[in-house]
Copies of this chain bind each other. A is one copy, B any other.
Amino acid sequence: MAFVRSGSNLSQIAALLGVSAATVSNALSGKGRVSAELVDKIRATAAEIGYVPSLTGRALRTGRTGVLGLVLPDIANPLFPQIAQAIEFAASSAGYGVLIADSRGSVAMQTDAISRLVERDVDGIVIVPRRGTRITDIGCPVAVIDSPSTPGNTVSADHWQGGQAVVEHLAGLGHRRFLLIGNNAASNVQNDRIGGMKSRLPQGGHAEVMWIERHEAQFGKGGLLGLAERVADGFTAFCAVSDLQALRALTELQRAGIAVPEAASVTGFDDLVWSSVITPGLTTLRMDMATIADIAIKALVRVIETDAAGTAVAADRPSVPMTLVIRQTTARMAASAGTVSNSEPETPPEGERR
């Protein structure tokens, strides 16, 4: 602050104009107990000397810091940029700052992160919880962004509907045999997505779920997923619960000489930054993070500003629809599909260019 504050404060303005600090405060905050002329004079002087109110002073007096905490399970998560950006935007639009905290994997650190924020007197916290964690009462308003099937007050994307959209799209293209690729069977989000997919299987459709962590526990980490063999088994649609897994699947198939989308379709979830940059572009589902963040922040702000004693937020548990982004990894099932394709992939036709 020594550097920051230009040194001007309420009292200085007051002294300059021969009025009281209280009047300056009232004039500047526009509470309307000051004559219009005085307000103008005070405003002008404030602007002139470059007065910036001290949020710290205000915080001490009002008991509100105007800062929200954001706790993420793991900042290194590729989805984090989207979340952080949306939350930061929604919060600063509402006049709040955002303090970040990383729970770096462990549940213990999540608790730590939360208390660091609480010590800094944040007015509320947005939490994207670790898998399986339940956020209990932490003594300040909380909004949880997770999955609709998480118990407690949450805001989230409609992962189930997203899963339905994927399979509907692929079924419409003639696919019947789906390999659903998840990472961790304990994740609510992933289960919702896969549940949605299964719920929309077409007549005569068949789906099988592959959990990568389970596969790796058996065959070692980072190896191939054996997808070429699954193509030989007749699977033509590979639907991952995240773009990360979709990319893994796509590159594995390409590497094995299986043309995507001619011989196999691949879909992801989340529309991560690189999804539109790869060849072929990845068909995926996008969350409306702006809306989700908005709902979370608005709910938080409502609780904070009405001084409601509870910590509950968003009692109606809204879930926001996801949008299917169709790119080039999905295509009508070829007549020959269902057998390993060793045909040379052609250069994509002009119309397929992004």
Tell me the number of copies of this protein: 2
Bitwise, A115-131 to B at CB < 8 A (1) or not (0) is 01111111100000000
Interface residue A276 (Cβ < 8 Å from any Cβ of B) = yes
Bitwise, A206-221 to B at CB < 8 A (1) or not (0) is 0000000000000011
In the complex, the answer to whether B279 meets A251 with C-beta atoms within 8 Å is yes
Interface residue A52 (Cβ < 8 Å from any Cβ of B) = yes
Provide the residues of chain B in CB contact with A120, threshold 8 Å: 55, 66-67, 97
Contact of A244 among B100, B251, B256, B273 (CB under 8 A): B273
A6 smallest CB distance to B (angstroms): 8
Provide the residues of chain B in CB contact with A63, threshold 8 Å: 1-2, 5
Interface residue A107 (Cβ < 8 Å from any Cβ of B) = no
Bitwise, A262-289 to B at CB < 8 A (1) or not (0) is 0000000000111011111100000000
Provide the residues of chain B in CB contact with A273, threshold 8 Å: 76-78, 244
In the complex, the answer to whether B81 meets A76 with C-beta atoms within 8 Å is yes
Q: Across the interface, name the chain B residue whose C-beta is closest to A83.
A: B75
In the complex, the answer to whether A1 meets B354 with C-beta atoms within 8 Å is no
In the complex, the answer to whether B81 meets A78 with C-beta atoms within 8 Å is yes
In the complex, the answer to whether B248 meets A277 with C-beta atoms within 8 Å is yes
In the complex, the answer to whether B121 meets A5 with C-beta atoms within 8 Å is yes
Interface residue A65 (Cβ < 8 Å from any Cβ of B) = yes
In the complex, the answer to whether A345 meets B82 with C-beta atoms within 8 Å is no
Contact of A75 among B65, B84, B101 (CB under 8 A): B84
Inter-chain CA distance A342–B82, complex, in Å, is 39
Interface residue A347 (Cβ < 8 Å from any Cβ of B) = yes
In the complex, the answer to whether A98 meets B97 with C-beta atoms within 8 Å is no
Provide the residues of chain B in CB contact with A278, threshold 8 Å: 247-248, 251
Chain A residues within 8 Å of chain B by Cβ, number: 85
Provide the residues of chain B in CB contact with A122, threshold 8 Å: 4
Inter-chain CA distance A4–B53, complex, in Å, is 24
Interface residue A17 (Cβ < 8 Å from any Cβ of B) = no
Provide the residues of chain B in CB contact with A280, threshold 8 Å: 251, 255
Which residues of A from 272 to 322 have beta carbons under 8 Å from B?
272-274, 276-281, 307, 309, 311
Knowing A97-B116, A120-B67, A279-B248, the reply to whether A353 touches B84 (Cβ < 8 A) is: no
Interface pairs (29), CB distance under 8 Å: A1-B59, A1-B123, A3-B140, A3-B141, A4-B118, A5-B121, A52-B119, A53-B119, A54-B121, A56-B56, A57-B60, A66-B120, A75-B81, A77-B273, A78-B78, A80-B84, A97-B117, A100-B100, A222-B276, A223-B353, A247-B247, A248-B278, A251-B254, A252-B279, A254-B254, A254-B255, A255-B348, A256-B345, A274-B274
Task: Identify 18 new A-B residue pairs, CB closer than 8 A, beyond the known A52-B118, A56-B56.
Answer: A1-B65, A1-B123, A2-B64, A4-B140, A52-B119, A76-B82, A78-B273, A80-B84, A97-B99, A222-B276, A223-B353, A224-B348, A247-B278, A248-B277, A248-B278, A251-B278, A251-B279, A255-B345
